[in-house]
Amino acid sequence: MKKILTVAAAAALGLTLAACDSGAENEMEQQAEAVDEAVEATADAMEDAGQVTDEQADAMEDAGEATKDAMEDQADTMDAAPE
């Protein structure tokens, strides 16, 4: 019985570790978040300065979000790719 529990626990641990993000994936996701935050800050500053309209600032923020999403998708495929 102990042997079965030990094997089951080891299998569960292995699956848990396999599901974790790699360091490279986490780094890319952090960069994606930084890009999105920088675009949003720039859009807000430009809107506050009257350089762009609210709609233009929203479009810039949407583009930043799309870039972030694309970078995160790319990071997700890093671990899925066979080595």
Contact indicator for 71, 35 with CB cutoff of 8 Å: yes
Run of H or E including 4 = helix 2-19
Question: Is residue 14 scored above 70 in pLDDT?
Answer: no
Q: What is the pLDDT of residue 66?
A: 93
Least confident of 12-21, 29-38, 40-49, 65-74: 12-21
Distance between the two ends of the chain, CA-based, in angstroms? 36
Instruction: Decide: 28 and 76 in contact? Cβ < 8 Å.
Output: no
**Least confident span in 21-25, 36-40, 44-48:** 21-25
Instruction: Inform me whether the pLDDT recorded for 77 exceeds 50.
Output: yes
Give the predicted TM-score (pTM) of the model: 0.67
